[in-house]
Chains A and B, each alone.
Chain A
Amino acid sequence: MANTTASVIRTTERSDARRAAGIALILGLGLVFLTGFAYPEVIHNAAHDTRHSLSFPCH
């Protein structure tokens, strides 16, 4: 019984961790896309030197 409860808690923690990691992954990739890849000229110009100095492909 105790084992079952512990394993249920473990599984819940694990799925909670994966959900959080999924959100963090989307957020992180979104930020990197915005600074490193996005096309709008305003974003490109603001991030221009950063893109070049971090080896992202730029114009």
Chain B
Amino acid sequence: MLTRILSVGLLAGLLAGLLIAALQQVTTTPLILVAETFEKPAVASATPAPTHTHQGGEAHVHGEGWKPADGMPRLFFTAITTVATAMGVAFVLMAVMVFAGVPIDEHHALAWAVAGFVACGLAPAAGLAPVLPGSAAGDLVGRQVWWVGTAIATAIGLWAFLRADHHPLVRLGAIVLLLAPHVIGAPHPPAFESKVPAEIAAQFTALSLVVQGLLWALVGIGVGLFWPKFAPKTAA
């Protein structure tokens, strides 16, 4: 069973990740590069790495350690990390479906992947809109905790709403779980500081969600396609 999950996850993640990496090069990455030109100080040559201030007033410096050089190395590392993310998403998707006792086929895998995108993409974006580099943002750990909490609460809420019995209390609990993160609210910056034109930021926010949605969908399709191909041979 583990071999089957790993094989399908590696294959589906590799294919979905490579397609998304190609898509990123013509959608989100060009906008990130444009945004970085606004992030850099006007006098570039002798100036140290750009700093910005987080909530709490601690400045934090970017680019001191190793980072991939612009061009091919940067493209390569973005592709590698996108493929790794897609593999991780595939493993989580299959694990959750096995725990839920749902058959893994094209129909179910895609439906569960879409639900995964709602939980990990749409719901967190309602509080923390995807941003370009250089945007003001609240405390990173606070945002990550809120993001993970929202994803988990939304996933459980969706599952309870769609699968469990129709008992009014279960539904009420599901609605509470879906709404709670947004009532609590995501950490936000005390002031806005991005110099990137709003049109570019808006375009990026929309594209970033589309890219994540497509990643989930492609992983779901891949898992649904490859799962039957790795069926165990019936024992003699």
Nearest CB to that of A50 among chain B residues? B81
From B5, B6, B29, B99, give the contact of A53 (CB < 8 A): B29
Most buried by B among A25, A35, A48, A50: A50
- The reply to whether the CB of B209 lies closer than 8 angstroms to some CB of chain A is yes
Other-chain residue from B77, B87, B94, B147 in contact with A46 (beta carbon distance below 8 A): B77
* Nearest CB in chain A: distance from B182 CB, A: 16
Kindly state whether residue B227 has any CB partner on chain A within 8 Å: no
**In the bound complex, how far is the Cα of B6 from the Cα of A27, in angstroms?**
10
Contacts A41-B64, A53-B29 given: A16-B1 contact, CB under 8 Å?
A: yes
| Contact string against B for A residues 13-32, beta-carbon threshold 8 Å, 1 for contact and 0 otherwise | 00011111111110111111
Smallest beta-carbon distance B81→chain A, Å: 4
Q: What is the predominant secondary structure among interface residues of chain B facing chain A?
A: helix
User: What is the number of contacts between chain A and chain B, taking CB atoms within 8 Å?
Assistant: 146
Chain A residue at minimal CB-CB distance from B62:
A59
| Chain A interface residue count, Cβ-Cβ cutoff 8 angstroms | 36
* CB–CB B132/A31 < 8 A: no
A24 touches B128 (CB 8 A): no
Residue among A19, A20, A35, A53 making CB contact with B84, cutoff 8 Å:
A35
Q: A45 touching B68 by the CB < 8 A rule? A: yes
Residues of chain B contacted by A35 (CB below 8 angstroms): 81-82, 84-85, 88
Q: Give A residues with C-beta under 8 Å from B.
A: 16-25, 27-32, 34-37, 41-42, 45-50, 52-59
Which residues of B are interface residues toward A (Cβ below 8 A)? 1-2, 4-6, 9, 24, 27-29, 32, 60, 62-68, 74, 77-78, 80-82, 84-85, 87-96, 98-99, 121, 124-125, 128, 130-133, 137, 140, 143-144, 147, 204, 207-209, 211-212, 215
Q: Could you name 10 residue pairs across A and B whose Cβ atoms are closer than 8 Å?
A: A17-B98, A21-B96, A21-B98, A24-B5, A25-B96, A31-B85, A35-B81, A46-B68, A55-B121, A55-B124
